[in-house]
Amino acid sequence: MPSSNPAGSVADRAAAIAAVHAGREGPLLPVLHDVQAAFGHIPADAVPAIAAALNLSRAEVHGVVTFYHDFRTAPAGRRVVKLCRAEACQAAGGAAVAEALLARLGIGWGGTTADGAVTVEAVYCLGLCACAPAALVDGAPAGRLDAEALAAAVQA
């Protein structure tokens, strides 16, 4: 959850977060996780501040942000649905379940509805393979999904 709105610019706050981790080995991922926890996503203005604090290029920071699915570059919806797209869920009909949800919401993978209500993200195995197709809805596991069950879980 994003924090309240303490004083300071995005860059200043990101730099302060980076400074906390600067002495660690491999500080970039912990910094990005903390920045996302603070803002709900990685704001564009945070990237140069993080890069400067960790003596990295902006491209290096941007590359890591865009490589990992867990990092967002825009705020998420009020409800976040993480749908598994790995093998066991695909074999159990997960693709059709996902496409039905995306079509109903009118968004693509990684998208957020225009009203900011729902974000749908892809994940690759939640460890719930025995209950495929599986998802996390606001962090709560949901399994053996069909289109109707997923729609109900998203609206609950």
Residues forming contacts to ligand FES in the complex (CB under 6 A) are: 84, 86-89, 125-126, 128-129, 132, 134
Length of the chain: 156
Taking the complex as a whole, the smallest distance from the CB of residue 98 to ligand FES amounts, in Å, to 11
Task: Classify 5 in phi/psi space as left (phi over 0), alpha (psi -120 to 50) or beta.
Answer: beta
Which is closer to ligand FES, CB of 50 or CB of 83?
A: 83
CB within 8 Å of 35: residues ≥ 6 apart: 14, 17, 42, 43, 46, 50
CA 137, CA 38: separation in Å to the nearest integer?
A: 21
Write down the residue that tokens 């109707």 correspond to. 148
Place of tokens 């509805």: 113
> Would you say 43 or 94 has its CB closer to ligand FES?
94
CB of 134 to ligand FES, least distance (A): 4
Q: The tokens of 115 are what?
A: 């009203």
Q: At 112, list the tokens.
A: 């957020």
**Nearer Cβ to ligand FES (32/128):** 128
Q: Please state whether beta strands 118-123 and 79-84 pair in parallel, antiparallel, or not at all (unpaired).
A: parallel
* Residue closer to ligand FES, measured from CB, 50 or 154: 154
Query: Nearer to ligand FES by C-beta: 41 or 85?
Result: 85
Q: Any bridge partners for residue 1, and if so which? A: none
Q: Provide the minimum distance between the beta carbon of 87 and ligand FES in the complex, in angstroms, as a whole number.
A: 6
* Min dist. Cβ of residue 129 to ligand FES (A): 3
